[in-house]
Amino acid sequence: MKRLLKAAQAVLGSLAVFIAVYVAYAHIASIAVAKRYTGDAVVERFGSASDLTQRYEIRKEGALAYTVSGGKLHVTGTTSMEAGKPARLELVGPVRSLEESRSTMRFRVLTPGAYDVMVGFETEHSGKGARAISYGLHAGPKASAFGWKGDPLTSLVGARVTQDLPDTLETVRDVPLASLRGAEGSDDGWHEVGVQFSNSLHQAFATIDGIPSGSVRSEWIAGLPVRLVFGVVARDPGQTVDVEIEEVVSEPVLPDPQALDFEDHFNGKVIDPRRWHVQKGDEFWMTSSALSSPKGLTLEGRALHVETSHAAIVLHTPPFPLGSVHVRARVQVIGFEHSGFFAGITTVLGGGHLRVFDGGFVDAISPEGKHELHRFAAGSWKHDGQIAFIPHGRIDGDEAIIEVDYDAKTRKGRIRVNGDEIVSETPDIQPRQEVRVRFGINHNEANSEFKVIVKELRLRALQD
C-alpha cells in the first residue's frame, strides 16, 4: 500500500511539474504572440550598423554594400547579376500582424540607374504562396518614376500589383520624378514614399511626400503575419548604385474623427483612397471606369453580357457606426441609357442582412419613345427585409442633386432629388450599426451604357 501511495505521489508530482512548465510556456508564447498585436510604431533613424543587424535581417546579393553614418543608411555598389538573380540589399523586420498601418521611407538617389528603391511588406512564409507588395522609386539613368511592385492577386493573401500598372481607377501608372520638382526646377533629391493598408477598404494605397498617388485592391486580411521590407533591388546589370535612406517609419493608423466630414470635388490626379474604395463589375459582363479630373469624377461604362440588373461601379467609404448622416451628391449626365445612378447609406453586412437607404435617378422611356431621367427613392423601411422602390417624376435638364439624410435622434430618414422630397421614413437600420456611404451606377439591361460626371459629394457623418 505504501508503495502504491509513493507511486501515486511521484506521478502527481511529475504531473504538477509538467503543468507548471506548460503554463510557463503558454505565458511566454502568449507574450511573444501579443507583441505582434501591440501596434507600437517602429521608427528607424540608423544610429549604428550594429544596432541595425540586431533589429533586421540583412538580405544581400551581388555587388551592393551599405554603411551607416550621420543618421543615414548609405547603399552603394553596382547592379550586378549573379546566378540569374539581380543584386539587392534589403532590410527585413520582425514578424508582425497586419493592421490598419502606414509605412514610410525618406530617401534620395544620388546616382540614378536601373534599380528600385522600395518600402513595403511581405508575408511571413516564404516559398510557394509567398506574397509581397511595395511602393517606391523605379530609378533610371534617363528618367525615374514612382510606382508599385509586387505579386499577382491571390485570394486572402496577395495584392494584385505589377510593376507596370495601367492607368485605371485603382492606381496611376507612374508618377514621374520630374513632376515633383519646384516651379523653378529645384529639387534637393529627398522624397518620402509610403504604403498604407486599409483592411476596412480592402486596399493598399501609396503616398509621395504625404500626398496620395494611387491605390490597388488588396485582400491581405487583418492579422496576417507580415514583415516590413525596404531597400534597393537592381533591374539591369552594369550600373552604379548610390542611395541614401534617412528614415523608415511603420506605425498603426488610428481612426480619424474628421475622415467622414468632407466635400470631395474629385478634381485631383487620383481618387482619394483614404475616403473611397472602388468596386467595378466583372470585365466579362461589362466595362466601367472612373477617372478624376478638374471637371470632377467621370464614371463611364457599357454592358457586354448583362441580362439582369448588375452593379457596374460603386464607390464606398470605410465602415462606421451609424449616427446622424448627411449625403449630398451633384451629378451631371452626359449619356445615360438603361442605367441607374444611386447614392445613400448601406449596411456593411450583405445577403439577407443587407439594408439600404438610397436616392437617385434612372433612365426611362417616354410615351414618345425618348430617353428621360426619372427620380427615385429605394430602401429598407417596411420591416419585411425587402427593398422598396418609389419613382418620382422626370428630371428636367442634365443635372441631378441627390440628398440623403438620417437623424440619429428621431431615427428618421429623408431622401430628396433636385429639392423634391420623395421619402420620409424610418429605415430598417439600427443606430450604431456598421454602415457605409456609397454611390454608383447599375446596368439595368443588356444594352445599358452611361457617362456621368460626379461634380461633388458632401458627406457629414456624426457619432451621436
What residue ranges do the domains of the chain occupy? 39-252, 261-461
Helix (H) or strand (E) holding 456: strand 449-461
Q: Is the pLDDT reported for residue 179 higher than 60? A: no
277 pLDDT band, cuts 50/70/90, is confident
The DSSP bridge partners found for residue 79 are none
Q: Which fold has domain 39-252?
A: Jelly Rolls (2.60.120)
Binning the chain into helix, strand and coil, the percentages to the nearest 5 are: 10, 55, 35
pLDDT digits (tens, 9 = 90+) for 81-128: 776 788 999 999 999 988 888 999 999 999 989 999 999 999 887 666
**Taking Cα atoms as reference points, which of 390, 335, 385 lies closest to residue 359?**
390
**Taking Cα atoms as reference points, which of 418, 358, 363, 366 lies closest to residue 390?**
358
pLDDT score recorded for residue 350: 82
Does the structural domain 261-461 have CATH classification 2.60.120.200? Answer: yes
pLDDT digits (tens, 9 = 90+) for 325-367: 999 999 999 999 999 999 999 999 888 889 999 999 999 988 8
Same fold for the domain at 39-252 and the one at 261-461? Answer: yes
CA distance 206 to 102: 9
Q: Does pTM top 0.75 for this prediction?
A: no
Phi, psi at 422, each rounded to 5°: -100, -40
**Taking Cα atoms as reference points, which of 86, 88, 85, 84 lies closest to residue 64?**
88
**Taking Cα atoms as reference points, which of 340, 424, 404, 327 lies closest to residue 374?**
340
Q: How far from each other are the two terminal CA atoms of the chain, in whole angstroms? A: 73
Most confident of 146-150, 175-179, 396-400: 396-400
CA distance 107 to 404: 45
CA distance 345 to 380: 11
* Nine-digit cell string for 31: 507574450
CA distance 456 to 265: 4
The β-bridge relationship of strands 88-97 and 225-234 is: antiparallel
**Taking Cα atoms as reference points, which of 334, 344, 256 lies closest to residue 295?**
334
| Beta carbons of 201 and 277 less than 8 angstroms apart | yes
pLDDT score recorded for residue 464: 64
pLDDT digits (tens, 9 = 90+) for 409-456: 999 999 999 999 999 999 999 888 999 999 999 988 888 999 999 999
pLDDT score recorded for residue 254: 74
